[in-house]
Amino acid sequence: MSASLMIVEDDDVVRSELRAAMEEEGYEVSEAADAEVALEHLRIHGAPDVMIVDLMLGEMDAFTCIREVRRDHEVPILVVSDSADTHDVVAALESGADDFVTRPFAMKEISARMRALRRRPRLGALPEDPVAEPPAEIILDAEHPEPLVLSPDGGVVRRGDEPVHLTITEFRLLCELAANPGRVLSRTALLERAWDEGFFGDERIVDVHVRRLRTKIESDPSDPRIVVTVRGLGYRLDMRR
């Protein structure tokens, strides 16, 4: 079955070029010329397997569009832009995007990035075998009255009985860190592992995702105790026992 892709792009020519290239790659493509149409499509038809969102949209900008999508969906989102401004990159990622690419780009790069995004585990996915053993759980923070628990195979993170809603990228980063507790992982290592085929741009993308992850799992994101920064080296996960 073909993977579904939604392209949100207000430039008719660019949108048509992206659609033609992605259909050649085997995607089942839907498109929207503005954010409002895209959100209405998701409301009616549900989320696609992956989305491409242009940064410069119309009345509703890409940042607002992505935040609205993130209210109900964990679909991987790739932002494309004419601007390489760091503030735009950070704002897009903080809004909930998973990846960011600037023009000019090759269509093969877009395809590679989307394949990498789609291979990340789907959150909350149930095991295909109903009689299989339940997925292993890792207790990340037992000191808190409501322990923080990660289930890598189940695609679930919860604080006590309440699910913690992470994006796919945040979940993948947490899994990579949890697989190496107490060990410092550099930004390069995290990019290579969490982005599958690697990342083509700025390593600071890791910092943005880690910062966003901390707001969801740390009791005090300004003083992180679980995902710790090791200055000049990278990040380390400290399990709180």
As given in the structure block, the two tokens for residue 10 are 């207000």
On the question of pLDDT at 60 being above 70, the answer is yes
Among residues 42, 90, 35, 93, which one has the least CA distance to residue 61? 35
Domain parsing of the chain, residue ranges:
4-118, 138-237
Give the range among 100-109, 118-127, 138-147 with minimum mean pLDDT. Answer: 118-127
What percentage of the chain carries pLDDT values higher than 70?
89
- DSSP, res 89: H
Among residues 146, 143, 174, which one has the least CA distance to residue 161? 146
Give residue 50's pLDDT. 93
Highest-confidence segment of 71-85, 112-126, 147-161: 147-161
The CA distance from 86 to 77, in Å, is 18
22 φ/ψ sector (left φ>0, alpha ψ -120 to 50, else beta) = alpha
What percentage of the chain carries pLDDT values higher than 90?
50
On the question of pLDDT at 208 being above 50, the answer is yes
Give the chain's mean pLDDT: 85
Helical segments of the chain, H only? 12-24, 35-45, 62-70, 86-95, 107-118, 168-178, 187-194, 204-217
Query: Class assignment of domain 4-118?
Result: alpha beta
Query: Class assignment of domain 138-237?
Result: mainly alpha
Give residue 1's pLDDT. 64
Q: How confident is the model at residue 128 (pLDDT cuts 50, 70, 90)?
A: very low
Give residue 199's pLDDT. 52
On the question of pLDDT at 200 being above 60, the answer is no
Contact 163, 131 (CB under 8 A): no
Q: What is the 3-class SS of 165-230, one letter each residue?
A: CCCHHHHHHHHHHHCCCCCCECHHHHHHHHCCCCCCCCCHHHHHHHHHHHHHHCCCCCCCCCEEEE
Q: How confident is the model at residue 130 (pLDDT cuts 50, 70, 90)?
A: very low
Give the range among 117-121, 124-128, 144-148, 236-240 with minimum mean pLDDT. Answer: 124-128
The CA distance from 40 to 174, in Å, is 32
The CA distance from 216 to 45, in Å, is 29
Question: Over the stretch 85-105, which tens digit does the pLDDT of each residue have?
Answer: 778 888 888 888 888 888 888
Number of CB atoms found within 10 A of residue 137's CB: 15
As given in the structure block, the two tokens for residue 103 are 């023009």
On the question of pLDDT at 209 being above 60, the answer is yes
Give residue 129's pLDDT. 44
123 φ/ψ sector (left φ>0, alpha ψ -120 to 50, else beta) = beta
Number of CB atoms found within 10 A of residue 52's CB: 26
The CA distance from 240 to 228, in Å, is 12
